[in-house]
């Protein structure tokens, strides 16, 4: 079996030492490099040809998520797995948006870290149980807009006024304003400026 080649990026030498010992005990894993910061990581990416990059979120000389995105831009075939002591949902979302295939906690059992590497190396994804729990706990879905409300929101995003929308949709201005109020309430938007900003951002997606 061809070993899974792993590059470890973490700015704490003792963390790297302990993790390398764990990973080298798995016959199908081969740690091909260790880096404590950005420069070493980029150099090893080119020379060590890893399959998986196990990346710490917080580095002394930069942001691990940003460095991971930079490495993916250089070598899109690598699998990026974030490795962190933080289970903050914002970090997790940013990591996934940057192209990470997984996010595992430093205090996770060794078996979970091994499973995470196996999963991302095989082309899948992996989130530590504690991470996924924080990410989805209490996230109630936004109320769904009606087709008419969605239509009005789209026109607001295109810069149309209530009068223009009323004319285009053959509605009264009062009806359009009522829809605007309903949209704000459903999306928990505070004022007209926030509504317009949301509409513009939504239109650009």
Each residue of 6-31: pLDDT tens digit?
999 998 898 899 999 999 999 999 99
Alpha helical stretches, state H, the chain: 13-24, 38-48, 64-74, 89-97, 110-121, 129-136, 147-157, 162-169, 173-187, 192-204
**CA–CA distances in Å: residue 91 to residues 11, 58, 103, 152, 173:** 18, 10, 9, 34, 43
Span 50-58, mean pLDDT?
93
Coil, strand, or helix at residue 102? strand
Measured distance CA(145)–CA(173) in Å, rounded: 19
pLDDT of residue 42: 94
| Poorest-pLDDT segment among 102-106, 179-183, 186-190 | 186-190
Per-residue confidence (pLDDT) for residue 188, from 0 to 100: 77
Q: Is the pLDDT of residue 137 over 80?
A: no
**Rounded Cα distance, 112 and 15, in Å:** 16
Q: How far apart are CA 24 and CA 31, in angstroms?
A: 7
Tokens of 79: 């699998």
Which range, of 82-86, 112-116, 167-171, averages the lowest pLDDT? 82-86
The pLDDT of residue 168 is above 60: yes
| Domain 147-204: CATH architecture, name and number where available | Orthogonal Bundle (1.10)
Instruction: Write the CB contacts of 144 (distance below 8 Å, at least 6 apart in sequence).
Output: none
Domain edges within the chain: 4-136, 147-204
Distance of CA 43 to the CA centre of its chain: 25
The average pLDDT across 54-60 equals 88
For 33-72, letters b (16+ CB in 10 Å) and e give bbbbebebbbebbeebebbbbbbbbebeeeebbebbbbbb
Same fold: 4-136 with 147-204:
no
The sign of the torsion formed by the CA atoms of 76, 103, 31, 27 equals negative
Residue with tokens 């082309």: 123
Sign of the alpha-carbon dihedral angle for 113, 114, 120, 121: positive
Average pLDDT over all residues of the chain = 87
Is the pTM higher than 0.75? no
**CATH fold group of domain 4-136:** Rossmann fold (3.40.50)
Q: Specify the pLDDT at position 100.
A: 93
How confident is the model at residue 186, as a pLDDT?
83
- DSSP for 122-136 reads TT--EE-HHHHHHHH
């Amino acid at each position: 079996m061809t070993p899974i080649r792993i590059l470890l990026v973490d700015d704490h030498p003792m963390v790297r030492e302990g993790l390398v010992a764990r990973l080298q005990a798995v016959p199908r894993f081969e740690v091909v490099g260790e880096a404590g910061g950005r420069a070493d990581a980029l150099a090893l990416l080119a020379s060590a040809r890893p399959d998986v990059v196990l990346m710490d979120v917080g580095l002394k000389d930069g942001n691990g998520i940003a460095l991971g995105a930079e490495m993916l831009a250089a070598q899109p075939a690598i699998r990026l797995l974030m490795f962190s002591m933080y289970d903050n949902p914002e970090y997790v979302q940013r990591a996934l948006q940057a192209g990470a295939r997984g996010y595992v906690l430093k205090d996770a059992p060794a078996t979970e870290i091994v499973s995470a590497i196996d999963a991302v190396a095989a082309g899948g994804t992996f989130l530590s149980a504690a991470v996924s729990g924080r990410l989805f706990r209490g996230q109630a879905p936004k109320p769904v807009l009606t087709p008419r409300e969605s239509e009005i929101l789209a026109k607001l995003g295109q810069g149309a006024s209530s009068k223009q929308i009323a004319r285009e949709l053959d509605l009264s201005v009062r009806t359009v304003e009522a829809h605007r109020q309903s949209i704000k309430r459903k999306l928990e938007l505070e004022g007209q400026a926030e509504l317009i900003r949301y509409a513009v951002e939504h239109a650009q997606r």
